[in-house]
Amino acid sequence: MKLERLLNFKELQHHNSNQNITDICLDSRLVNNGNLFFLLERNVQLQEQYLKQAIHNGAAAIIAPKEFTFDGAAINIPIIKVDSVRKTLSQVSSKYYPKQPKNILAITGTNGKTSVTKFTEEIWLLMGIKSASIGTLGNSTTKTSSALTTPDPISLHKQVDTLASEGFQNLVIEASSHGLSQLRMDSLEIAGAAFTSFSRDHLDYHSSMESYFNAKKRLFTHLISTKGTAVVNMIDLPMRFHNFIDSIKAENLITIGHKNSSISILGINRGDNNKIQLQISCYGKKIIVTTPFIAPFQAINSLIAGCMATVNTGIALSEAFATIEKLSDVRGRLECVAKLKDNNIFIDYAHTPDAMSSVLEAIRMITKNRLIIVFGAGGDRDKGKRSIMSDVADKYADLIVITDDNPRFEEPSLIRGQLMKQSRKYIEIANRAEAISYAISELSSEDNLLICGKGHEEYIIYGKEKIYSSDHNFVEQTIKNRSK
């Protein structure tokens, strides 16, 4: 593809617009002959290193920030300076991979993104609609995993283009705060967006809760189509942020709340099988929504998904809500992975205080005896939430096993020490497999166990090492060994 098809006249006025581009790339190590390379790095020393590597590997041209300085005499390929490399990257990615499904939905929120994304896709599939999802669990059609909740623009547009070429017209994508603040989704045509919840997380990246909220808010104020549909869960949105709905640019707004909402929750009941039933008022009409879930937050997530599934599909809200009782657990999201006589073992991805509180409260409600939890905290992330997470565990659990969870470049023992309390119900076991095995061995009559923090992930990060680690396999192996 010619450079002139990817960039505008202003950007190209001093360069050869007829330059042929064989591909686009943002990792200098992966550049091949004829590639257009995007220099995202802000560190001056690393900029020079990455630039040299990209040129050595055969880059045809470089997109660089406008303040970038270089020795032009030493470089024989175009260096095209732009106001925002990230914005240009999204725009160029959408031009290089131009096809998009007609109906793209995006889900954001501190907790619940993965569940709502998978529930929306499952409702579509149950209704006979060909659909796909991209997010924390990867691409549902290729079954490939993803290192990022929201992929980088090149990977994202490449996947979206492939899906459109294969006839997928309905796609739902998880939109992380990092992805939104880094403009990864800026050139997608977003027909519908949902806000699932908002609470403390990622304060290592965002400077404040306001900054964190504003990153998520962009989905509704900048990216969603003016003719689109926005779904906002007001229940799990702090009151001080409620007025943001006035700035949503979509013409259709569905709010979920306790009163004065499009969908009001009138009651949350638990049946004999411990499954949640929601009594709701849907635009004034009273409906009972039966769910297959044990937690109220799961039930509300499925309600959000039901609303999203109706966007541009012709599905009525009543039809979508009737399908909810057929939904299945999402891997690593309050997933019951084993039943041992009168014990249940759950695995959940919760790694924020709010998510842990919701999960523990739900399991506490169905636990007749002791509730045991295994959890840790990630290194090089928001350290302020660690003591809060311990307070949450202390409130609901009877036995607390502190273990490792992606220490990264922090000293694992120090992280564990920050999570420990001077209490007989706390025990520290560094090795995650041993911690899980110990917790299972401690189960007595009518106890339940929650293993928190990793969910679907099958690795643990120590420094530069990514070691295989699967909570699912640890549970399975421990149970197998006990039965011998």
The pLDDT-based confidence of 144 (bands split at 50, 70, 90) is confident
- Domain-located, residue 418: yes
145 and 9 together in one domain: no
Residue 182: Cβ within 10 Å count: 20
For strands 426-428 and 335-340, give the pairing.
unpaired
Alpha-carbon Rg for the chain, nearest whole angstrom, is 24
309 and 349 together in one domain: no
Structure tokens at 183: 């403009």
288 and 200 together in one domain: yes
Name residues whose C-beta falls within 8 Å of residue 291's C-beta, 6 or more positions apart in sequence: 275, 276, 277, 278, 298, 299, 302, 324, 325, 327
pLDDT in tens, 155-206: 999 999 999 999 999 999 999 999 999 999 999 999 999 999 999 888 888 9
311 and 380 together in one domain: no
pLDDT in tens, 464-476: 999 999 999 999 9
pLDDT in tens, 311-351: 999 999 999 999 999 999 999 999 999 999 899 999 999 99
pLDDT in tens, 233-263: 999 999 999 999 999 999 999 999 998 999 9
User: What is the percent of the chain where pLDDT is above 90?
Assistant: 87
318 and 376 together in one domain: no
> Could you say which DSSP state residue 408 is in?
B
CATH code of the domain covering residue 54: 3.40.1390
Q: At which of 58, 83, 108 does a domain end?
A: 83
282 and 352 together in one domain: no
- Domain-located, residue 110: yes
- Domain-located, residue 92: no
- 13 vs 233: which has the higher pLDDT: 233
124 and 179 together in one domain: yes
The domain containing residue 37 runs over which residues? 3-83
- CA-nearest of 146, 149, 143 to 106 is 149
138: left (phi over 0), alpha (psi -120 to 50) or beta: left
- CA-nearest of 109, 477, 135 to 331 is 135
Angle (deg, nearest 10), helices 432-441 and 471-482: 50
- Could you tell me if 108 and 194 are in contact, meaning their C-beta atoms sit under 8 angstroms apart? yes
Judged against a pLDDT cut of 70, whether residue 72 lies above it is answered with no
pTM summary value = 0.92
319 and 295 together in one domain: yes
Judged against a pLDDT cut of 60, whether residue 441 lies above it is answered with yes
Q: At which of 296, 326, 356 does a domain end?
A: 326
pLDDT in tens, 256-292: 999 899 999 999 999 878 999 999 999 999 999 999 9
The backbone torsions φ and ψ at residue 452, rounded to the nearest 5 degrees and listed phi first, read -115, 150
- Domain-located, residue 406: yes
257 and 119 together in one domain: yes
